[in-house]
Amino acid sequence: MLRVAILSDTHGLLRPRVLELVAGSDRILHAGDVGDPAILDQLRQVAPVAAVRGNMDGGGLSNLPATVAGELDGLPYRMTHRREDIDPAWPREAGLIVFGHSHRPELEWRGGCLLLNPGAVGARRFKLPLTLALVRVTDGRLVPEIVAVE
């Protein structure tokens, strides 16, 4: 079993509670709007990190890719910051598509593909909850969970 922590929209703020929740993860995916390169350095102390560039990521984060493609225990995944930037072919090519931007947690199964927005863990926006996702990958199957940070 592979345990993957998925977060987005830290906007320069990595709460201690987030580090507690991602502890023990095998991989971490960050769906953009990191806000500070030091956040990725802190997350790398927990597990290997894949991250994409968000619309607010400039400066030292402008070198992050707009999209990432990879595998989680043999399961193909794709990641981008905004849902509108998801390539229409991705649901046929991947078992997991990760995106952020809206600060709204979302789980949607489209056939055998899970579209997942973990929500946001940085500064609170509107009255939306602060959330991240934990996903267990076992034998090519995903078990997602949206977790409240506060």
For the segment 26-74, what is each residue's pLDDT rounded down to a tens digit?
999 999 999 999 999 999 999 999 999 999 999 999 999 999 999 999 9
- Domain spans of the chain, in order of start: 2-148
Output the pLDDT for position 149.
96
Residue 125 has pLDDT above 90, yes or no: no
- Rounded distance between C-alpha atoms, residue 121 and residue 110, angstroms: 25
Listed range (85-99, 104-118, 120-134) with the worst mean pLDDT:
120-134
Residue 150 has pLDDT above 90, yes or no: no
- CB-based burial label for 79 (10 Å; 0-12, 13-18, 19+): buried
Of 1.10.3720.10, 3.90.1150.10, 3.40.50.10260, 3.60.21.10, the CATH number of 2-148 is 3.60.21.10
Q: Which two tokens stand for residue 69?
A: 């493609």
Residue the block writes with tokens 């070198």: 63
DSSP designation for 94: -
Position 127 confidence tier, pLDDT thresholds 50, 70, 90 = confident
Output the pLDDT for position 40.
98
Average pLDDT over residues 10-35: 98
Position 75 confidence tier, pLDDT thresholds 50, 70, 90 = very high
Count the helix, strand and coil residues of the chain and give each as a percent rounded to the nearest 5.
Answer: 15, 35, 45
Residue 126, phi then psi, degrees to nearest 5: 55, -135
Q: Which two tokens stand for residue 2?
A: 């592979």
